[in-house]
């Protein structure tokens, strides 16, 4: 379950600072059930890699020894960073490639030919209407 949260990029960001032989990690993890909710996670890890304290803003993650899935997702990300030298976080809109210049499903050649046929049909009908109006006058 935690691996799924991490791989689905529920981890929004992670920041660390090393001070007094401890790593202080600040992270943010998106809620799984609520789309627009995220929780700030704080973790303190000593220089041997032992978690000393952790807390999360969610209801389960209160206190200095939280064990919620948001804390676990952040810790899993830190382990992945230690082994693979990369961490998966949710991409921002500026990290994704532009897509406005790419052809969408409505811009395919088939739909263009349908539009041209409709335009020719309208052009023919307007000529027929013009001929009908000329005959009436």
Residues of the chain with pLDDT under 70: 99-137
Cα 108 to chain center, whole Å? 27
Residue 71 included in any domain: yes
pLDDT value, residue 97: 74
Output helix, strand, coil percentages for the chain, rounded to the nearest 5.
40, 25, 35
Tokens of 3: 């691996």
Determine the pLDDT at residue 112. Answer: 53
> Is residue 126, in this structure, part of any structural domain at all?
no
Residue 123 belongs to some domain of the structure: no
Total domains in the fold of the chain? 1
pLDDT digits (tens, 9 = 90+) for 51-81: 999 999 998 888 888 889 999 999 999 999 8
Print the domain residue range for 26.
2-84
Residue 68 in any domain: the answer is: yes
């Amino acid at each position: 379950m935690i691996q799924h949260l991490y791989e689905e990029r529920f981890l929004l960001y992670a920041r660390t600072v090393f001070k007094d032989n401890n790593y202080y990690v600040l992270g943010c993890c998106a809620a799984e059930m609520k789309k627009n909710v995220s929780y700030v996670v704080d973790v303190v890890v000593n220089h041997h890699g032992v978690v000393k304290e952790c807390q999360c803003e969610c209801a389960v993650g209160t206190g200095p020894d939280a064990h919620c899935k948001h804390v676990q997702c952040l810790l899993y990300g830190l382990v992945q960073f230690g082994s693979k030298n990369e961490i998966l976080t949710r991409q921002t809109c500026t990290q994704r490639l532009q897509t406005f210049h790419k052809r969408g499903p409505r811009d395919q050649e088939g739909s263009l030919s349908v539009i041209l046929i409709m335009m020719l049909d309208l052009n023919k009908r307007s000529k027929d209407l013009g001929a009908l109006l000329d005959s009436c006058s």
